[in-house]
Structure 1
């Protein structure tokens, strides 16, 4: 299932990210802000219970989070900016990292790093990667999480291509995808069109 977050703030900030004139500092800030707004949508069904406590006025029963603990897993390197933003919302969440890069010739994912919380199987997992292009890296990352025992997985991306969405829906139909937009298509180099360029390069100022 794909959820496109159409909130005006998300769409406005995404447009600013697309602009070739947007510099590194502003792009990085916008990526963090959009990530927080995506997390708001992706986590809207977190379970609540009540806790009895006293306010300065009186005692009462008030909602607190319950259910599975959370894990945020960044697909390196670009997913870091999203995880670093979202962890400010859920500071008790554990953080994992999966290192993958796309071979420029085959466009297939190549793994180089994997470090996950030991209790990942007991946690609800939110995977972060700004771009869902071919879908190969995200699918491989999700498979490695499943191999480690994770069962409840949500993929959060700022921008997606239909081809990448189709790969995740084919390989992992149980994974919920939350994005700010699904663009037209991929070009011959595997870039999203119209897209916003290479998210990692624009976040970190590299080429």
Structure 2
């Protein structure tokens, strides 16, 4: 597999992912667990952040200096399932701005269709944290990355719960520079494009839709 893929392994994450997979997990619990996992993905995505600045502050005891994040990443949600991750990631990086990309795969034209694109001003050179719970065929993520690169953004990191091996290979065929952070790589997809064993349609389970 080409490209950088970071599989975050931790007993708590395995426990939480197991509940996401369970078809009996209700929508409210699914949302809450998605938020919990998203915070950890954001934490890991920022682990090597080196754009920091030193500022002077005063504690209740004495004057000192501290470090703060400079030039924070833009958090981008791939609608609609990415919205289940967005607030949690922003809660970890509250100084970040947010963008939204609405893309779906149209089975009749066998291609992706963009219906919404809204970004903050001046995203040129900005690092992007691209949020989508599932990376299956990778068609949507590839289309989203294509659009972001038209704006000459900086490094792009994809945050997802689970990803397919074939989807990762396809993403990195077109965009080998994109880093993916996930909890697990699934070996299989079924004929409908769902990950196996997967967790079903994340958007439907988040928002109780069909």
TM-score (norm 1): 0.95
Q: What is the DSSP-based 3-state SS (H/G/I as helix, E as strand, rest coil) of the residue aligned with 1:9?
A: helix
How far off its partner does 1:186 sit? Answer: 1.0
* d(CA) in 2 for partners of 1:181, 1:139: 19
* d(CA) in 2 for partners of 1:179, 1:99: 21
Report the equivalent of 2:130.
127
Query: Are 2:54 and 1:50 aligned?
Result: yes
Query: Are 2:65 and 1:61 aligned?
Result: yes
Query: What is the CA RMSD across the aligned residues, in angstroms?
Result: 1.3
Structure 1: runs of 5 or more not aligned: none
* d(CA) in 2 for partners of 1:124, 1:165: 20
Report the equivalent of 2:158.
155
* d(CA) in 2 for partners of 1:122, 1:171: 20
How far off its partner does 1:107 sit? Answer: 5.4
1:7 corresponds to which of 10, 18, 21: 10
Structure 2: runs of 5 or more not aligned: none
Report the equivalent of 2:33.
30
Listed as ranges, the matches of 1:159-170 within 5 Å are: 159-170=162-173
* d(CA) in 1 for partners of 2:195, 2:46: 26
2:143 corresponds to which of 111, 132, 140: 140
Q: What is the DSSP-based 3-state SS (H/G/I as helix, E as strand, rest coil) of the residue aligned with 1:61?
A: strand
* d(CA) in 2 for partners of 1:102, 1:205: 20
Aligned residues: 206
2:198 corresponds to which of 191, 195, 199: 195
Q: What is the DSSP-based 3-state SS (H/G/I as helix, E as strand, rest coil) of the residue aligned with 2:19?
A: helix
**Residues 145-200 of structure 1: CA distance to partner in whole angstroms, max 9, x if unpaired?**
00011121111111100111111111111111001111121111111000000000
Aligned pair in 2 of structure 1 residues 111, 49: CA closer, same or farther (>3 Å)? same
How far off its partner does 1:106 sit? Answer: 5.9
Q: Is the 8 A contact 1:123 1:150 kept in 2?
A: yes
Q: Is the 8 A contact 1:69 1:122 kept in 2?
A: no
TM-score (norm 2): 0.94
Query: Are 2:167 and 1:185 aligned?
Result: no
Query: Are 2:102 and 1:90 aligned?
Result: no
* d(CA) in 1 for partners of 2:155, 2:46: 12
* d(CA) in 2 for partners of 1:108, 1:101: 9
1:71 corresponds to which of 74, 83, 99: 74
* d(CA) in 2 for partners of 1:202, 1:10: 19
